[in-house]
Structure formats: C-alpha cells, structure tokens
Amino acid sequence: MVEPPFTIDLYRLRVLRELADRGTVAATAAALHVTPSAVSQQLATLAREVGAPLLSRDGRGVRLTAQARILLDHASIVHAQLERARADLDAHTGGEVGEVVIGAFASAVTGVVVPALARLRRERPRLRVRVVEAEAPGCFSRLGVGELDVVITVDWRDAPHRTDLRYARRDLLTDPMNVVLPADHPLAGRERLELADLADEPWVAGRSGPCLEVTLAACAEAGFNPEIRHRTDDWTALGAFVGVGAGVALAPSLALPAAPPGTVLRAPAPRPPARRIFLAVRAGAEDSPLLRPVIDALSARP
C-alpha cells in the first residue's frame, strides 16, 4: 500500500507556534483573532496530518508533546526557506517596487523610523513604506503571520532569544537612560549623580515592559528597591509628574531627548543603564531586495 504524501498546512504550524509562545489556547486564539474552538480544531487536524500527538493534558491546560517540539524545529526551517524563496522572487524585479510594513514602538518611530524614511524617499522613491505603532510581544505575532515585515523593539526578559530560528535580527542602538529630576531638586545642580542618592525618593515608572525592567534592575544594582508612587507608560505624563515634584524617574534618551518643563536630565554614574534596541524580520527575508534597503536605512546612524 502506497502511503499518501506527507503534507502539512502552514497556517496550522503557525497556530502551533503561537500556542508554544502563548502557553494557553485562549491566549493563542486572542493573538490570532479566532475562537479557542478554532484553535483546538486546527491543532487536532495538524496532529492527524503528522500522525503524532501534539498536545497532552496539564491540569486544566495543555502542554506540547516532544513530537510537537520536533515539529516546531522543522517548521522554523520551513518558514525560513519560504522567506528565502520570496526573496529570490522579489530579486527578479530588482526590489524597486513594492510595499514594506514596519512596526515600531512610539519613541522608535520618531527617533529611528522617521530619519530612515527620509533616506528611503531619496534612494527608493518607488518603494512604499507603511509604519504602524506596535509593541512587544504582539509585534512578533504580527510579524509571524505577515502583517508586519520589520519590527523594531527592545530587548527584554521575554524577548525572543538571539538564536531563535524564526527571526533574523540586527542590533540598532543602545539607548542610555537618564535620571529625570525636578528642576528645584537639591541634586539638580549635579552633572552626574549616583542612583543610590535617590533611594529615599518617590519614583515615577511604567506599568510594565522593558523600561520598567531596566529601572528596577538599575535600582537593584544601586542597592535599593524604588518606591514607585506613580505609574504611567506615557513619557509626556512621566515628565509632567516629575516637573511638579511628584517623584523622580529614569527615562530613555530616545523618548526624552530634552528635559520636559520643570525638570532636568542627568546621566547616572558610574554608567547609565540602557535599553538595547534591535530590528527583526522573518528568517530568510533579510536578503529580500525589498527589505534590504529598509534594513540598511533603519540601521544607519547620523
């Protein structure tokens, strides 16, 4: 008896990858904008296609089997090869015409993407670039399903690791964090100060995310746990809090290149904490003649 050909639906592989990243069927469904039932059906069909169990019960949830992990390793290679095929097809037309969608967090749009757009308008006038504001981790799901072609994000605790086969990565810049002080603060006259000098101050910080992680890690290294009295993810609001004397803060140079009204910016000694900004594309797509000039323009520093 001749066995039927071994075929796998690529969308179902995407669903399995999302489940591996998200951890639950509900979170996977939300990321893919489908129902949990649809996720379960896709995964059940995929298990039948490959002839192996992909999920096992884990309390009230599920976990991936060893066979599922093996399949995902191969899926990363398959998707990368498909991106290389797309790059070769794009190369046939020279990459002069097409559309590239960039997803970036807000301060990177201003500090990184906009200067790159000016260069691309001069050098690739027929290349259409669209920019959308996109934060991690959702930007990676959108990259994976093709909604975005390039993402610009920050290294953080749950970021994809550098050896992740799904992505090609390029480091862009290290963005130092400055202390934001009220202009009338007793330490405002210092050009540099140590974070330990602010251990007893109330702090303003984000609700979550990479910048909060950098702030907490820097304070811990300085020997204290900050009392975060006000939380906001809006840099204008953070500056306003500090400006009226409601606390002190750490803010990245890209987000606050100049001191907001009523504040001063000071570099912490002996070295400023920093967030590290990088771009990522789907593995294999980095050689696309459409993406290559965009990547180069985003990587260029003044």
Burial state string for 131-143 with b = 16 or more CB within 10 A and e = fewer than 16: beebbbeebbbbb
pLDDT digits (tens, 9 = 90+) for 156-197: 887 888 899 999 999 999 999 999 999 999 999 988 799 999
CATH assignment of 175-274? 3.40.190.10
Phi-psi region of 268 (alpha: psi -120 to 50; beta: other; left: phi over 0): beta
Residue range(s) of every CATH 3.40.190.10 domain in the chain: 97-173+276-299, 175-274
Identify the CA nearest to 211 among candidates 277, 140, 266, 161.
277
Residue ranges of the chain that CATH labels 1.10.10.10:
1-94
Amino acid 109: pLDDT: 95
Q: Is residue 277 left, alpha or beta, with left meaning phi > 0 and alpha meaning psi from -120 to 50? A: beta
3-state secondary structure of 174: strand
CATH topology of domain 97-173+276-299: D-Maltodextrin-Binding Protein; domain 2 (3.40.190)
Q: 4: Cβ–Cβ under 8 A, 6 or more apart, which residues? A: none
Omega before residue 137 within 30° of 0, cis: yes
Closest C-alpha among 39, 112, 32, 103 to residue 301: 112
Residue linked to tokens 């803010």: 251
d(CA 151, CA 136): 9
pLDDT of residue 2: 56
CA distance 219 to 235: 19
* pLDDT given for residue 147 in this prediction: 94
Low-confidence ranges of the chain (pLDDT < 50): none
CB atoms within 10 A of CB 227: 11
Q: Which of 155, 131, 132, 150 has its CA nearest to residue 83?
A: 150
**What CATH number labels 1-94?**
1.10.10.10
Please give the pLDDT value at position 98. Answer: 83
